[in-house]
C-alpha cells in the first residue's frame, strides 16, 4: 500500500508540474484558441496503475473546473486533454505526439 501512495504522489506532482509548464509556456495558441489554454495530461488510466491514474485525473479535473469557475487564468479558460499511457513508454510517446501534433498543446 505504501508504494501506491508514493506512486499517487509522484503522479500528482508530475501533473501539477505539467499544468504549470503548459500555462507558462503556452505561447502558440491559434487564432480560434486565443481564449483557451490547452493542457495535456498523460496518465496511466489502464493497467496496473490505473487506480493512481484515475485519482490523479479526478484531482486535475476538479482543479481545472475550479480555475475555470473563477474566470480562468488572465481571462482564458483551461481546456484539459487527457491521454492514457498505461505505464507503457511507447503509448506515452504516442500520447505525447498526439497532444503536440494533433491537439496543438504547447
**Contact yes or no for 8/56 (Cβ under 8 A):** yes
- pLDDT, tens digit, for every residue of 46-104? 998 899 999 999 999 999 999 999 999 999 999 999 999 998 899 999 999 999 999 88
How far apart CA 68 and CA 86 sit, in angstroms, is: 28
How far apart CA 29 and CA 33 sit, in angstroms, is: 6
pTM, to two decimals: 0.68
Strand partners, 79: 38
At 105 the pLDDT is 87
Strand partners, 99: none
| Residue ranges with strand state E in 1-106 | 36-43, 77-84
Amino acid at each position: 500500500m505504501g508504494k501506491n501512495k508514493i506512486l499517487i504522489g509522484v503522479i500528482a506532482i508530475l501533473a501539477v508540474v505539467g499544468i504549470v509548464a503548459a500555462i507558462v509556456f503556452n505561447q502558440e495558441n491559434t487564432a480560434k484558441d486565443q481564449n483557451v489554454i490547452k493542457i495535456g495530461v498523460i496518465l496511466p488510466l489502464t493497467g496496473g496503475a490505473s487506480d493512481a491514474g484515475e485519482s490523479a485525473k479526478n484531482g486535475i479535473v476538479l482543479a481545472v473546473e475550479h480555475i475555470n469557475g473563477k474566470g480562468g487564468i488572465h481571462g482564458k479558460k483551461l481546456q484539459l486533454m487527457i491521454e492514457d499511457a498505461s505505464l507503457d513508454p511507447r503509448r506515452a510517446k504516442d500520447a505525447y505526439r498526439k497532444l503536440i501534433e494533433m491537439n496543438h498543446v504547447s
